[in-house]
Structure 1
Amino acid sequence: MAEVHRKLERSAIGFVLAIIGVASIGGFVEIAPLFTIDETVEQAPDMRVYTPLELAGRNIYVREGCYACHSQMIRTLRDEVERYGPYSLAVESQYDHPMLWGSKRTGPDLARIGEKYSDEWHVAHLTDPRAVVPESKMPAYAWLGRNELRTDDLPNHLAAMRRVGVPYTDAMIENASLDAVGQAHPDSNVAEGVVQRYGEATTVRDFDGGSGVLTEMDALVAYLQVLGRLTDAAHQQPAGEKK
């Protein structure tokens, strides 16, 4: 075997062909399942898209590198299900570009964090993590409560998401900036449009605790509060399918 390997390394053409062969096997293993994706991804008629405010919060989550310490995928292992809730389904991430499943857990998995804690808890935790969880290693993000959220570019963000398959309508894209403001200001004259466009399940409230200004804290908390709540598919699986 050593002699065969030595000869292969000394033959440029043979070595290139071997590399192509091995890469082709790996590529086939990754690509083949895509041909049956319609059969393997679950159906979720109640699935809704992120609102502009939630999408902005997701962008902040990515910008600050939160995915490096928090996964968003609960495995089928019993201890994970008992700790975090129903295991993650592929359909729950169909509108995530990029997906944030992850494998690193310096902090807990966040796939089912939505509405587990109050907005006040999240604001306090993001402002000073150790004041809420003494053993926390998470850095503080207090400035998010002082940073005004940029909204003028949200129509472009929604339009980009539609190009990769997220079913945002023309009305959603056109009103994205106003809907971001309306979701965090329930008493404003633009709040009603958010529910009309995104459904009754949409949470409309002041997420950062009443600063009066639409902040990045509003957006990030809105995103965290919707994790695991875009569809109820994971909670409706037949008993026989649960692992």
Structure 2
Amino acid sequence: MPELMHRKLERSATGFMLAIIAAASVGGIVEIAPLFTIDDTVETVSDMRLYTPLELAGRDIYVREGCYACHSQMIRTLRDEVERYGPYSLAVESKYDHPMLWGSKRTGPDLARIGGKYSDFWHVAHLNNPRDVVPESNMPSYRWLGTNPLKLADLPLALRAQRAVGVPYTDEMIENAARDAYGQAVPDSEQSSGVTERYGEATQVSAFDGVTTNVTEMDALVAYLQVLGQLTRAAYENTAAPEQMPDPDN
């Protein structure tokens, strides 16, 4: 009987079209319905800060180089994940990520809590030749990032594009984007003080690649890696401090 009904449905263009619409509607409802409760899903925290222009540029480089294809940025609520990587990820931590980089592929470890775990020097060495610090690593090297100058003039446009999708960058932040990126990577410069004024005292100002004569793509990528899991401390409430978390490479 079901076979006869199926044959009859296949021979009816109208009936088959309606069946497709019905099936697609069910899938659409499952995908769309949770969006109506999005305000209840995303936590509200008082210490959430924006990416600085340098960190945002580093995120763009991270996406450009395909790092997300091997590293996820979402710690699930499973016990083994929390014990290995740290507190599970909260929705608010991706509030200003466009696009989000949660992922599920883990050729390399999850990076959601990598910020502050290693020194800038470690990250530079790791990106130049991963096997210098993780002998068993199969990650490619990214030496050229240390010689590629960062295009500072493009940063105001990048912040303006982020504001268009809801990230609350101010006119002052956009106007000073290039100066703030330079100041964050050159601690002794006159521009460095403006970074913490606009983005908060918790902002890391450092010669990320070890050189203060110019700002490179290495500066930007290391700055981004160092802020992962640090935009808000909400996930660490009532949990162990990040320095007590197990090494993700073990």
Name the TM tier (shorter chain): over 0.9
| AA at the equivalent of 2:77 | T
Q: Distance in 2 between matches of 1:232 and 1:171?
A: 26
Q: Deviations over 1:137-157 (max 9, x none)?
A: 100000100100011010011
Q: CA RMSD in A?
A: 1.2
| AA at the equivalent of 1:147 | N
Residue number in structure 2 paired with 1:4: 5
Aligned-pair distance for 1:33?
Answer: 1.1
Say yes or no: does 1:50 pair with 2:32. Answer: no
The structure-2 alpha-carbon separation of the partners of 1:38 and 1:211, relative to structure 1 and needing over 3 Å to count, comes to same
Aligned-pair distance for 1:6?
Answer: 1.8
Query: 1:209-220 to 2 correspondence within 5 Å?
Result: 209-210=210-211, 212-220=213-221
Residue number in structure 2 paired with 1:75: 76
Calculate the TM-score normalised by the size of structure 1.
0.96
Query: 1:83-122 to 2 correspondence within 5 Å?
Result: 83-122=84-123
Question: Does the aligned pair in 1 maintain the 2:145–2:218 contact within 8 Å?
Answer: yes
Aligned-pair distance for 1:21?
Answer: 0.7
Question: Does the aligned pair in 1 maintain the 2:44–2:92 contact within 8 Å?
Answer: yes
Q: Distance in 2 between matches of 1:100 and 1:238?
A: 24
Q: Distance in 2 between matches of 1:81 and 1:236?
A: 14
Residue number in structure 2 paired with 1:154: 155
Q: Distance in 1 between matches of 2:11 and 2:145?
A: 58
Aligned-pair distance for 1:132?
Answer: 1.1
Aligned-pair distance for 1:29?
Answer: 1.0
Residue number in structure 1 paired with 2:173: 172
Q: How many residues align?
A: 239
| AA at the equivalent of 2:98 | H
- SS of residue matched to 1:152: helix
Question: Does the aligned pair in 1 maintain the 2:185–2:212 contact within 8 Å?
Answer: no
Identity %: 75
The structure-2 alpha-carbon separation of the partners of 1:238 and 1:21, relative to structure 1 and needing over 3 Å to count, comes to farther
Unaligned stretches of 5+ residues in structure 1:
none
Unaligned stretches of 5+ residues in structure 2:
241-250
Q: Distance in 1 between matches of 2:239 and 2:83?
A: 17
Calculate the TM-score normalised by the size of structure 2.
0.93
Residue number in structure 2 paired with 1:192: 193
| AA at the equivalent of 2:119 | S
Aligned-pair distance for 1:3?
Answer: 1.8
Q: Deviations over 1:37-65 (max 9, x none)?
A: 11121111100000000000000000000
| AA at the equivalent of 1:107 | G
Say yes or no: does 1:64 pair with 2:65. Answer: yes
Residue number in structure 2 paired with 1:233: 234
- SS of residue matched to 2:153: coil
- SS of residue matched to 1:214: coil
Aligned-pair distance for 1:5?
Answer: 1.6
Q: Deviations over 1:162-200 (max 9, x none)?
A: 111111011000000110000000100111111110010
Residue number in structure 1 paired with 2:246: none
Residue number in structure 2 paired with 1:136: 137
